[in-house]
Chains A and B, each alone.
Chain A
């Protein structure tokens, strides 16, 4: 039998007359904590009106007073064990709320201000010859897509093959040192990756060079370790029994990897790649150094500067021209498009992992 002998619907007056045979305390009705928080809100409102009104202080007062009130009331009526449970519940929910504040506020603000220029022109026009209102980010959007595509083309083969080496072939010191270096690469600041790519291309083409492919190389430095790590984890999850089953059929190791291991892990691999793309698509610093910015369309990553969404937003914000409002609106819309791209990639990743997962249904 449970320690709470009474359903929560019963009123407090009946509970007082029936002592719990196990020596425990009665359970609070479910509305009690809400009532406590309501009272705390009224109290906080009073404090706020007496001193100076401030929405942030009001929320903080409400949460603190409500938590304390719930704890004290529960300790008196339900006993210390239940009281600690309620206290921790309040703390966890508060922490969740605090964590959500920046996210919600950011999305709200970006959508509100980005909606201003979220129109057809933004997606069809470049900034060539634009002074003042109008103009768009077509060139930056295409630049971001081209450079991200190139980055993916460079990183996925290298990252996947590294992961396959680590899981299927590597052993001993070489494997350990590669794992260590991949971990180090994961922590490289993005600006360093940009400087690396810049230095590399300056050696070949001379100082002042700006190319789309440079940006792709810089982003690859950031993307490869992410892919290696995620692919390694996914490949490790493929049961060894499947490899052995293939070996026992007389299938060579390389065909086993190609035809059994990778198809089994394809959902996880594709998800990892998609999330790695989402990770690099919003990088600004390396592109600032390596690709620069331009107002005109440039589809050729091997010839001159290209615009990209993050760098575009950065320049629209820091060098808006006169009057500044038009450029700042464009920066917000660019930020909105970028967030939508990342969210879209995350949705794609979820769809992939659902569609490609091995089927077990009858």
Chain B
């Protein structure tokens, strides 16, 4: 299911403002790729451009190419809704649907798309997704309770379960642990390690230890100054980035000499 992503010469604009410039990288399937960098350098913008979520913001557009297994994401005949069905996303703040129960939240991806699914199939899917998100044992007795009654860490894992329930090929995570305590963070990280067997995972994080712990490849974004577009400074295996980076700026950032 996991797919490879190739990005070439990607520029991202908000209206006339160029937010990200000249990104070239390849994301391997069945791996975790971490994106690090200071705030406002375009990591999240870049992540959102991988499933065309940034188009939700008026005036946002891209130039360049994003190719997933030979399919151009920004081709003129590609429907962004189809793209998002293949590429799931988990957000910084847990955002379960407040009107739905835990069960319905997991089933939301299929229900909202009006896919006809039998009750037993749906039960199986919900159970598999919640087990996949390591949440099943905690919620199996209260599947009909509202999802917003869970703790923050449980809500985030519920959102991950919701995202993997539609069986995407790629999972994008935008600072998924920044609102969580260390124990919940550990739970989500363990989960990511399991999920990478099936999915291609791209994660944006401000926590460099997290990037070092979970990812195979790391991309460092930076910007030259306020009002300048963000750039991909270095893209290398995580081990190399954290021990012997090619670029001085990467080393400065990782060792905490700026930003």
Contact = CB atoms under 8 A, between A and B. Distances in A.
Nearest to A358: B98
B180 to A, nearest CB: 16
Given A358-B148, A359-B146, A250 B85 contact: yes
Interface in B86-128: 86, 88-89, 91, 93, 95-99, 108-109, 111-114
A51 interface: no
B112 A246 contact: yes
B25 interface: no
Interface string A260-297: 10011010000000000000000000000000000000
A244 B99 contact: no
A203 interface: no
B98 A247 contact: no
A11 to B, nearest CB: 54
A360 B96 CA distance: 11
Interface residues on B, range: 20 to 34
A249 B53 contact: no
Interface stretch (A83-91, A96-104, A180-188, A251-259): A251-259
A248 B163 contact: yes
Nearest to B85: A250
Contacts of B226: none
Contact of B98 (A255, A256, A264): A264
Interface residues of A, number: 26
A177 interface: no
Contacts of A251: 81, 109, 112-113
B61 to A, nearest CB: 15
Interface in B7-54: 51, 53
A361 B149 contact: yes
B88 A242 contact: no
Contacts of B99: 260, 263-264, 266, 358
Contacts of A343: none
- Which among A248, A251, A263 has the highest number of chain B CB atoms within 10 Å? A248
A361 B98 CA distance: 11
B93 A241 contact: yes
B146 A248 contact: no
A361 B82 contact: no
A249 B97 contact: no
Contacts of B108: 246, 249
18 contacts: A242-B95, A244-B53, A248-B51, A248-B88, A248-B163, A249-B84, A249-B108, A249-B109, A249-B113, A250-B81, A251-B81, A251-B109, A256-B112, A260-B97, A263-B99, A358-B148, A359-B98, A360-B146
